[in-house]
Structure 1
Amino acid sequence: MDLTDSRSVNLSYSKALMEALTSLGLPIPMRASKVLSQISRQERVPIHLQERLWKAIIDSYPEPLLGIKLGLAMQTNHIGLVGHLLMTQKDLQATIDQLVSYHPLLGEGGHFEVHRDTFSVSLCYYPNFINFAQTRVETILAACIAQTQALTGGKFQGCKLLLSYPAPSLALQQQYQELLAIPVQFNAQVSAILFPVKDLAIPLVAADKDVVSCLKPKADALLQAFEKNSFHRKVTLLLQQTPYLTREQVAQHLCLSTRHLGRKLQEEHTCFRTVQDEVRSYYARQWLVQGEKSNSDIAIALGYSDESAFGKAFKRWEGISPSLYNKRQKRGSKTTIDI
């Protein structure tokens, strides 16, 4: 069984990555150019092609600070309609609200959430991709920091960048902080930008209510069309973020009864078991090939009671055991040329 991953990324975001590379003085990798040549100007980029873009970039420039540097080099006006909508809001509060609402138009590799207490705000990013996750998350959050500083005329400075990844060497941590000019905390529960509540009221230098009035209906129409018949997509994204969720837990997340969940999926010609199997098999294959998790760890991460239950499910999906699948993939990787 193969995961029919319907997620996609706005072509303008993919091109903004290439423009960021160029601005850093880094030639666009040939493989990345080949991927972009397969996509027409009107299309969104299927997530599997976006994965190939990232692989081409990271294979060509395997440095630990690449994500931070790319994010700092990206420009808001390079990401199309949503970028212009964000940069013309009246203040930072409005911009963040629009980012959370319209981010699916930019890409479906994750989502933003805002958490606020008396004194601080956390703009959190939750990825649902596996490959090159740290570099991609750092690119997104570094871009948010840099562009928010630009959109507020330098008044927004941020307070701290939180990264949910292990801390690198002290020397590398110092380089993170020098590039970003704010403290960076590793091993956080979630990757996020932390800043004072008062910063929400900072006005934007390019605020223009007439432009917003013109662009917002277009963005709303695009979002409505994008989300049409997307219940399957919502369930898939929930499971991609947390693969071990049960039917009951997914229904609870969506504020539905399990029966109503089943009916909604049936209307889109699928069922929960099918969606769950698609997501689980995708993650299982990725983790087996990466070799960083044992079969027991994969079983737990996917919500199986034990390694034996996972093995039976995997054999049902692929027709072979996890160990045999892994051996075949390793054998094939020695003879496969990535073009």
Structure 2
Amino acid sequence: MNVWNFARSPASVLLMIDFGRDRKIAPQALLKGSQLTLKQLADPDFTVLAAQELAVASNLLDLTAGEAGVGLKVGLSYQLSAYGLLGYGLLSSATGMDAVALAGRYLALTYTFVGMTFRRAGPHDVIQFDASPELAANVQRFFVERAMGATCRVLRDVIGSAFELATFDLAYGADLGVDLGPGPGADAKQPVLGAKIRHGQPASTLTFEHAHLERPLPQANAATAAMCERMCAELITRRRTRVDLVSFLNEYLATRPFDRPPQLKDIATLLNTSERTLKRRLQEEGACFRDISSAVRKTRAQALIAEGRLSIKEIAQELGFSDMSSFSQAYKRWTGVAPSVSRQAAAGS
């Protein structure tokens, strides 16, 4: 199931904003380039595109560059209530095993950007987390750590305080461990749920005794679990966003930085398909990648000029142009007027 095809609850972005606030990072700095507003995020019926959440996460990484273990710390804050209906379904499942199976069926209702697989290994269970190769290396690590932290938090919330890990293996170099304790006072050298973090491992995995999943859950309720699953099935249908390739590309490109404009081959990797297949699908929809990319650039340029926050030179840099002259020529080709004319018109309106 491709997570890029599904919209998400605002809860994940709001948790990252809260994390940033604790570090005196303004929400507006985290929302830059995402086309999201705090007013939208306060609406419980609003949904966030995967590409928009990616933009916020990338900003958070840039603004906390000197802090270790950010992904894991963020993930550990994803309490069960952040998952809405799915969270209630997990809590009301008959056993931990039932909860894990439910989460696997409705993974698109979480906020993951990584692949997750569950397997038995003798008396233990293993959950493996695989990074999305199309993302930058630091973003890959952030999302793997976040998913691992969030999984730890959910398992503890669902199964109870007795739940502990046997191992916490991370396929990345040495970094600080993180405690489950709340707030900035938590000791960053403590283990996570009883397990020391082992770095540089062949894969990123969480291992725990299978017996934890066999026990009845304290808040199990068959009727509630069935109702939640039915509603999750309806919700996942409503949140499916990919109606056509052109719509997807417009949504994706609108939240990507243009300092390194994505190529069609990057999109093919993202969607796990071939560049030839994408070209054929775009031809069937009467579109081409270059035109879509130019249209997105044009829309963003017009929005930035009307906003008035950046100078024309800064807008050119924001959109990936080598100099202001190249941007001015492109803008005039798109709109028929120079950027300065549009700015004057916006200022006078």
Structure 2-normalised TM-score? 0.59
* CA deviation profile, 1:152-187 (whole Å, cap 9, x unmatched): 22121011112222334xxx3697661514122223
- The residue aligned with 1:191 is 204
Q: 1:157 aligns with which of 164, 168, 186?
A: 164
SS in 2 for 1:114: strand
* Equivalent residues in 2 for 1:16-27, closer than 5 Å: 16-21=15-20, 27=25
CA RMSD of aligned residues (A): 4.1
* CA deviation profile, 1:264-287 (whole Å, cap 9, x unmatched): x99xx828999xx98xxx9xxxxx
**1:81, 1:215 within 8 Å by CA — same for their partners in 2?**
yes
- The residue aligned with 2:11 is 12
- The residue aligned with 1:97 is 101
**2:16, 2:60 within 8 Å by CA — same for their partners in 1?**
no
**1:8, 1:108 within 8 Å by CA — same for their partners in 2?**
no
- The residue aligned with 1:54 is 57
**1:158, 1:193 within 8 Å by CA — same for their partners in 2?**
yes
1:130 offset after TM fit, Å? Answer: 1.0
- The residue aligned with 1:136 is 143
SS in 2 for 1:13: helix
**2:7, 2:240 within 8 Å by CA — same for their partners in 1?**
no
Structure 1 unaligned residues grouped into runs of 5+: 248-261, 283-327
Whole-Å separation in 2 of the counterparts to 1:153 and 1:125? 23
Whole-Å separation in 1 of the counterparts to 2:267 and 2:322? 32
- The residue aligned with 1:270 is 281
Aligned length: 255
1:6 offset after TM fit, Å? Answer: 4.7
Whole-Å separation in 2 of the counterparts to 1:192 and 1:118? 15
The one-letter amino acid of 2:190's match is E
Whole-Å separation in 2 of the counterparts to 1:27 and 1:44? 23
Whole-Å separation in 1 of the counterparts to 2:177 and 2:13? 28
Q: 1:217 aligns with which of 209, 220, 230?
A: 230
1:217 offset after TM fit, Å? Answer: 0.8
1:107 offset after TM fit, Å? Answer: 3.5
* CA deviation profile, 1:279-301 (whole Å, cap 9, x unmatched): xxx9xxxxxxxxxxxxxxxxxxx
Whole-Å separation in 1 of the counterparts to 2:99 and 2:141? 25
Within the alignment, does 1:112 sit opposite 2:113 as a pair? no
The one-letter amino acid of 1:15's match is L
Whole-Å separation in 2 of the counterparts to 1:241 and 1:190? 23
Whole-Å separation in 1 of the counterparts to 2:267 and 2:106? 16
**2:15, 2:77 within 8 Å by CA — same for their partners in 1?**
no
Whole-Å separation in 1 of the counterparts to 2:90 and 2:71? 22
1:14 offset after TM fit, Å? Answer: 2.1
Which has the higher mean CA deviation after the structures are superposed, 155-164 or 217-226? Answer: 217-226
Whole-Å separation in 2 of the counterparts to 1:173 and 1:196? 21
SS in 2 for 1:90: coil
Whole-Å separation in 2 of the counterparts to 1:92 and 1:231? 38
The one-letter amino acid of 1:47's match is A
- The residue aligned with 1:29 is 27
1:134 offset after TM fit, Å? Answer: 1.0
**2:159, 2:212 within 8 Å by CA — same for their partners in 1?**
no
Within the alignment, does 1:79 sit opposite 2:83 as a pair? yes
Whole-Å separation in 2 of the counterparts to 1:8 and 1:17? 17
Q: 1:240 aligns with which of 257, 270, 278?
A: 270
* CA deviation profile, 1:42-71 (whole Å, cap 9, x unmatched): 332123321221123223322112222222
- The residue aligned with 2:47 is 44
Whole-Å separation in 1 of the counterparts to 2:116 and 2:161? 23
**Identical counterparts, % of pairs:** 14
The one-letter amino acid of 1:216's match is E
The one-letter amino acid of 1:240's match is L
1:225 offset after TM fit, Å? Answer: 4.5
- The residue aligned with 2:217 is 204
* CA deviation profile, 1:108-144 (whole Å, cap 9, x unmatched): 6233211213222111223325142212221221121
**2:89, 2:225 within 8 Å by CA — same for their partners in 1?**
yes
* Equivalent residues in 2 for 1:275-314, closer than 5 Å: none
1:101 offset after TM fit, Å? Answer: 0.9
**1:152, 1:204 within 8 Å by CA — same for their partners in 2?**
yes
Whole-Å separation in 1 of the counterparts to 2:155 and 2:96? 8
Structure 1-normalised TM-score? 0.61
**1:91, 1:204 within 8 Å by CA — same for their partners in 2?**
yes
Given the superposition, is the C-alpha separation of residues 124 and 177 from structure 1 closer, same or farther in structure 2, using an over 3 Å criterion?
A: farther
**Structure holding more helix per residue:** 1
**2:114, 2:147 within 8 Å by CA — same for their partners in 1?**
no
Whole-Å separation in 1 of the counterparts to 2:188 and 2:268? 31
Given the superposition, is the C-alpha separation of residues 210 and 117 from structure 1 closer, same or farther in structure 2, using an over 3 Å criterion?
A: same
1:205 offset after TM fit, Å? Answer: 3.1
